[in-house]
Amino acid sequence: MSKIVKSSILAAFCLYFCSALSAQGITTASAYFKTVSDYYATLKDYEADVEISADKQQMAGRVSYKRPNLLRIDFTNPQEQVIVFNGDMLTIYLPGASAVLQQAVQSDSAGGASLATPQGLALMSRYYVIAYEIGQEPVPLENGSDEMVIKLILTRRNTSESFRYIKLAINAETKLIRRVEASTTKAETFVFDFLDYSLNQDISDQRFIYDAPSSANNFNNFLFTE
């Protein structure tokens, strides 16, 4: 269960960092990152398909986000797994273990769903050095791909940060984050692919209320439990 928990927590944490470049002149990586942050600040809500690769483990689902800090992921792999953050409480339902994990999280902290907000992006620019991975011109997402993205690499400023580096691939036309690749201090690599965005759909707050099955075992403050 520990691998699933770790992947699920990082999926939640990692959820969502979230003008094409001018044809003339040079745009610094930090300036481009700010345009992405500013664009995300204009979004009221969004949904997207997410595919997660955690070493040899594959996960997939649909993520819902609503400003300022509501987040939910309904997984299709593992089927019926759910992650919900309602601004105060992080809840993870693990159907395979019949377990509900809950953790109180400060809404203004640097962790949890706050990383999916413009404030979280500001924290990223504070604690990580931002650079172009290749250059400021759009490049294919990967070899053989027709999708053009701007690739950034964020390197931690000090050793206290959980990730040694974070790579972002941002769609050159929409300025939406297409891929996140994060490497931990233990050399574990997590890749998040975001597809099929739906923006500003007036998602109801009820979407972020989750009632876990009554038969599931509850574990509170799981982040601090041995």
CATH of the domain at 136: 2.50.20.10
Q: What domain range is 49 assigned to?
A: 2-18+21-224
State the pLDDT at residue 45: 93
Q: What is the pLDDT along the chain (226 residues), one digit of tens a residue?
A: 555 555 665 665 555 444 333 334 568 999 999 899 889 889 999 999 999 998 778 999 999 999 888 889 999 999 999 999 888 888 999 999 999 999 887 654 433 334 445 556 666 777 889 999 998 999 999 999 999 999 999 999 888 787 889 899 999 999 999 998 988 888 889 899 999 999 999 999 999 999 888 889 988 877 654 4
pLDDT at 22: 34
Per-residue pLDDT at 171: 94
State the total domains in the chain. Answer: 1
CB of 39 closer than 8 Å to CB of 120:
no
pTM, full prediction? 0.81
